């Protein structure tokens, strides 16, 4: 395993490794991805193995441009095309009818494929160098905290990955928003583009983001427990008594919690985007302290706050 600063030489080696069937971790504007060439079923199978990810949970396929998208998706309905036009390259994933060349392991046997055109320069340079779509889920162990730095990837997946391209901290810090269209526009996952921004473009979305209990979710991505730190985390409405704070860490949107062993403030200025960018980074930091628990203040459920609140809710399920 090597962690390489993502310069031209490193990107060329990573592309060569992908072409030869390896898995490579790379930065995107949302979180780090663990990638394999999307048409290489054997390499994609290795992603599931490295992440210990159940094969019922399909991957996102990354494309460089609309031409590459046409090799992945059979059809782009008009509303999807509008969103692509408005938000790509960017943190939006569109679920589309898949082309038969995309192996079933990528889509968990579904007839649809989730596709995204990333904006991060390293992800784009890698796609251009490989010349093939790259299937990549987040580069963490299944169910654990998402990686927003190369160090997060190294700590979780370490020796299992051949190359980790280090492109610094990911600017947005939470995963892409996922929208499906069949039969009507439906929000599948809250993410780095606010629901309101998408609705401003194409009108109301059905909401299919509610977590589903049990081991066989009806739709992928609705897992009740996800994004979990090792330290138990709970969402609090108000601060616990002072003597209950010393063994714990506090994560909040604003300042103002005293007496905790550690605390992180997502955005002192109350800015959603700043809060989202720091969310996983701060959880990684607080988790590393090995305290008894993390108290997370409830986040307002609108704009990007909805994406943070969703992740907090799933992280706090035990």
Q: Which of ligand TXA, Mg ion, none is residue 178 near (CB under 5 to 8 Å by kind)?
A: ligand TXA
Based on CB atoms, which residue is closest to ligand TXA, 59 or 122?
Answer: 59
The answer to whether 138 contacts Mg ion (rule: CB under 5 A) is: yes
| Contact between 178 and ligand TXA per CB under 6 A | yes
From the CB of 161, what's the least distance to ligand TXA, in Å? 14
Number of residues engaging ligand TXA in binding (CB under 6 A):
27
Stretch near ligand TXA under the rule CB under 6 A, chosen from 17-25, 66-74, 104-112, 154-162: 104-112
**Does 28 help bind ligand TXA (rule: CB under 6 A)?**
yes
Q: With beta carbons less than 8 A apart as the criterion, state whether 92 and 135 touch.
A: no
Query: Which stretch in 10-18, 113-121, 159-167, 304-312 sits in contact with ligand TXA by CB under 6 A?
Result: 113-121
177 binds Mg ion, rule: CB under 5 A: no
Q: Which of 59, 130, 179, 266 binds ligand TXA (CB under 6 A)?
A: 59
The reply to whether 179 sits near ligand TXA by the rule CB under 6 A is no
Smaller CB separation from ligand TXA, 149 or 176? 176
| 149 near Mg ion (CB under 5 A) | no
Question: Per-residue x/- mask for ligand TXA, residues 70 to 99, rule CB under 6 A?
Answer: -----------------------x-x----
Using CB under 5 A, list all residues that contact Mg ion.
138
Using CB under 6 A, list all residues that contact ligand TXA.
28, 30-31, 33, 57-60, 93, 95, 107, 110, 112-114, 116, 136-138, 175-176, 178, 180, 188-189, 220-221
């Amino acid at each position: 395993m090597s962690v390489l600063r993502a310069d031209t030489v490193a990107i060329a080696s990573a592309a060569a490794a992908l072409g030869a069937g390896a898995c490579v971790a790379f930065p995107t504007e949302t979180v780090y991805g663990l990638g394999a060439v999307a048409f290489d079923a054997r390499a994609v199978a290795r992603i599931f193995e490295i992440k210990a990810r159940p094969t019922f949970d399909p991957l996102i396929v990354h494309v460089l441009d609309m031409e590459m998208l046409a090799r992945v998706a059979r059809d782009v309905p008009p509303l999807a095309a509008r969103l692509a036009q408005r938000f790509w390259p960017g943190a939006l994933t569109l679920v589309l009818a898949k082309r038969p060349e995309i192996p079933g392991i990528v889509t968990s046997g579904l007839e649809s494929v989730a596709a995204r055109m990333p904006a991060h320069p390293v992800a784009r340079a890698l796609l251009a160098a490989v010349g093939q779509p790259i299937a990549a889920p987040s580069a963490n162990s299944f169910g654990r905290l998402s990686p927003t730095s190369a160090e997060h990837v190294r700590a979780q997946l370490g020796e299992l990955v051949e190359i980790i391209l280090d492109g610094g901290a990911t600017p947005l810090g939470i995963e892409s928003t996922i929208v499906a269209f069949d039969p009507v526009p439906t929000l599948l996952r809250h993410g780095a583009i606010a629901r309101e921004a998408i609705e401003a473009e194409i009108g109301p979305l059905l909401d299919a983001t509610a977590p589903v209990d049990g081991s066989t979710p009806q739709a992928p991505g609705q897992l009740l427990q996800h994004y979990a730190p090792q330290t138990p985390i709970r969402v609090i409405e108000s601060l616990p008594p002072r003597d209950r704070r010393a063994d714990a860490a506090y994560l909040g949107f604003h300042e103002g919690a005293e007496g905790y062993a550690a605390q992180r403030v997502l955005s002192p200025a109350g800015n959603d985007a700043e809060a989202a960018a720091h969310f996983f980074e701060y959880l990684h930091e607080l988790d590393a302290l090995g305290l008894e628990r993390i108290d997370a203040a409830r986040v307002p459920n609108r704009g990007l706050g909805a994406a943070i609140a969703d992740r907090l809710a799933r992280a706090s399920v035990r």
